[in-house]
Structure 1
Amino acid sequence: MFGRSKTTNDKLADEAHEAREGAKNRPTPRRRDQEAARKRPLVVTDRKQARSVDREKRREAMTRTRQAMLTGDDAGLPPRDKGPVRRFIRNHVDARRNLAEFMLPVMVIVLALSFLRTSAILLAVTVLTYGILLTAVLDTFLMWRGLKKRLVEKFGEEAASTRGNGMYAAMRAFQLRRSRMPRVQVARGEYPG
């Protein structure tokens, strides 16, 4: 309205420019047009659509995390499993035969035996339950002491004394080898160096 209209010479000049290799070959967009294109409302008006977009983003993030848990990819792991110290702990626990990982199958047997109501069997079940529990706890404690020494050698004193590393190793030791997440990456006896 207030600007001048293009003359025939201007139109011919625009058409005369041929496309160059490596050049932009288009006019620079106006700032107000770019800002208008980027504008989004603070509160979404279509809640149903926003919920479905959010659900899809969460599903993609969970898929990436699950894939990282299966492959051991450090970039996609959750924060509790990230880092070289946690990888070292996982590999050390996975390389070792832990008594604690056999506790669940033994407890299933104990549960089956507890249905038999004779005093001798109930005494055996009680002794077996507390015996396996105490030996598993003792084995896990000794495993953590040895692992802590190796952590100090490899990563220094602060890595071994970081809060939560002992519980992380113990919880991994009490899980069945097949059900551990992130998945086991080393064979038995293949301790990390």
Structure 2
Amino acid sequence: MFGRQKNPPQPQPSEPDPPTSVDGRKGRPTPKRKDVEAANRRPLVPNDRGAARRSQREKFARARREQQEAMLSGDEDKMPPQHRGPARRFMRDYVDARWSPGELFLPAAILIILVLLAGNLFPAFIEVIITAILVAYVFVLLAIIDAVVLAVRVRNKARAKFGADSLGRGPLMYVVFRAFYLRRMRLPRPVVKRGEFPV
């Protein structure tokens, strides 16, 4: 009972020393997980909300300036997504290569407003004024029909050349809206002359 133990305990192997660096010093201890998470944790609400808002506004303004400059220079890489790609460029060039009645929509709208004001000032010429208004409305209706027919034709040509998946969202409205702008007001800027239809 008090004698020698039959199976004396075996000495436990000692754990290997941590690797040492070249200069013989031990490396820094592994950081704890909670310390790493605390260092990476960012507040959902910044401390200085005013500075954060100003920074966000400056970021958006800088992005808008870059997109505006790209629309003027023709740099497609920095244009808004709805203007990028060969199919969109094809549709723009086709619209810019022809003259559309919709280009006179803005002058016609201004003329209608002036005629309506003249009707209030000169009631004696009411028949002439009504005739002018009817002519302006007929012109606007014809411009809308022309733009829709053009949009369908250009969409079909672009679909046959580039495939339906490359047209993007709303190809018809893309063409219609461009046809209703004066040529010098269109963005992205026209790069083809009248009559230079893309092939």
| 2:193 counterpart of 1:187 | yes
Amino acid of the structure 2 residue aligned with 1:47: R
In structure 2, runs of 5+ residues without a counterpart are 1-22
Classify 1:156/1:122 alpha carbon distance in 2 versus 1 (closer, same or farther; 3 Å): same
Higher alpha-carbon deviation: 61-70 or 46-55: 46-55
TM-aligned CA deviation for residue 111 of structure 1? 2.3
Residue in 1 that maps onto 2:175: 169
Distance in structure 2 (CA, Å) of the matches to 1:179 and 1:31: 63
SS at structure 1 position matched to 2:110: helix
Classify 1:153/1:120 alpha carbon distance in 2 versus 1 (closer, same or farther; 3 Å): same
TM-aligned CA deviation for residue 40 of structure 1? 6.3
TM-aligned CA deviation for residue 56 of structure 1? 1.8
Please list, as runs of the form range in 1=range in 2, the aligned pairs for 1:1-193 lying within 5 A after superposition. 39=40, 41-42=42-43, 43-114=45-116, 115-116=118-119, 117=123, 118-159=125-166, 163-193=169-199
TM-aligned CA deviation for residue 96 of structure 1? 1.0
SS at structure 1 position matched to 2:77: coil
Distance in structure 2 (CA, Å) of the matches to 1:41 and 1:145: 51
Classify 1:189/1:30 alpha carbon distance in 2 versus 1 (closer, same or farther; 3 Å): farther
In structure 1, runs of 5+ residues without a counterpart are 1-9, 11-28
**Cα deviation digits, residues 102-159 of structure 1 (max 9, x gap):** 1211222232223133232132123212211121022113322331342133113555
User: What's the % identity of the aligned pairs?
Assistant: 35
Classify 1:31/1:135 alpha carbon distance in 2 versus 1 (closer, same or farther; 3 Å): farther
Distance in structure 2 (CA, Å) of the matches to 1:166 and 1:63: 27
The RMSD of aligned alpha carbons is 2.8
How many residue pairs get aligned? The number is 164
Which is higher, the Rg of structure 1 or of structure 2?
Answer: 2
Q: TM-score, with normalisation over the residues of structure 1?
A: 0.72
Contact 1:92 1:192 in 2 (8 A): yes
Distance in structure 1 (CA, Å) of the matches to 2:179 and 2:71: 17
User: Could you list the runs of 4 or more consecutive aligned residues of structure 1 that deviate by over 6 angstroms after TM superposition?
Assistant: 29-32
Amino acid of the structure 2 residue aligned with 1:154: K
**Cα deviation digits, residues 40-73 of structure 1 (max 9, x gap):** 6323212222222222211211111111111121
SS at structure 1 position matched to 2:143: helix
Residue in 2 that maps onto 1:20: none
**Cα deviation digits, residues 12-50 of structure 1 (max 9, x gap):** xxxxxxxxxxxxxxxxx9986xx79x8463232122222
Amino acid of the structure 2 residue aligned with 1:170: V
